[in-house]
Amino acid sequence: RIDCKAGTPRVAYRETITQAADSETRFEQQLDGKDQFAFCRISLEPLEAGGGFEFENKLSAEELPTQFAEALEQGIQDAMSNGVLAGFSLIDLKVCLVAGEYLEESSTEVAFTIAGVNALREGVRKAGPALLEPSMKIEVVTPVSFTGEVIGDLNARHGR
């Protein structure tokens, strides 16, 4: 018998994209009796494994006020927690904000947050979404006399 301390196993699936894609969203709706407007165009590209998430705003503050660009980025980050294939978190992608429009009288941060969510979801669908194979990092401490057997067992289970 081995004294092993392990938590409940959970498979940590993730989703990513396999190709570059562009997406644009126009959000026009009434919320609480007020007109809401936001427009954005984003480009998505895959990053290397372990690349995480990058957001790049290619617009000046005159083209799209900073608070709207930040709200859009927040919407994109919110949408990354639910992928389009199976609802797992998205990783390893870069999003560039390449165009945006706002109206002084009806654009709000809420509208841009919603536009960010919608643009990312549409873009991911176009960018070849993929479910990533789960992996785990483990550390094994064993007497030297058992090293060969342990390595053999890990290799038999496709450990690297």
- DSSP states of 67-82 as a string? HHHHHHHHHHHHHTTS
pLDDT at 1: 66
Across the chain, mean pLDDT equals: 92
* 115 touches 39 (CB < 8 A): yes
d(CA 146, CA 53): 41
Across 33-47, 63-77, 120-134, 136-150, least confident range: 136-150
* 74 touches 57 (CB < 8 A): no
Residue 144 contacts by C-beta under 8 Å, 6 or more apart in sequence? none
Q: To which H or E segment does residue 153 belong?
A: helix 147-156
Q: For the whole model, what pTM was predicted?
A: 0.80
pLDDT at 51: 93
What confidence category does residue 7 fall into, taking pLDDT thresholds of 50, 70 and 90?
confident
> What is the per-residue pLDDT across 29-38, written as a single tens digit (0 to 9) for each?
998 889 999 9
Across 7-16, 19-28, 46-55, least confident range: 7-16
Residue 29 contacts by C-beta under 8 Å, 6 or more apart in sequence? 35, 36, 111
Task: Using the CB atoms, write b or e for 109-147: b if 16+ within 10 Å.
Answer: bbbbbbbbbbbbbbbbeebebeebeeeeeeeeeeeeeee
Question: What is 130-144 written as a DSSP string?
Answer: EEEPP---------G
pLDDT above 80 for 91: yes
> What is the per-residue pLDDT across 15-30, written as a single tens digit (0 to 9) for each?
999 999 999 999 999 9
Residue 128 contacts by C-beta under 8 Å, 6 or more apart in sequence? 17, 18, 19, 21
Domain 14-132: give its CATH code: 3.30.230.10
Domain assignments of the chain as residue spans, ordered by start: 14-132
pLDDT above 90 for 11: no
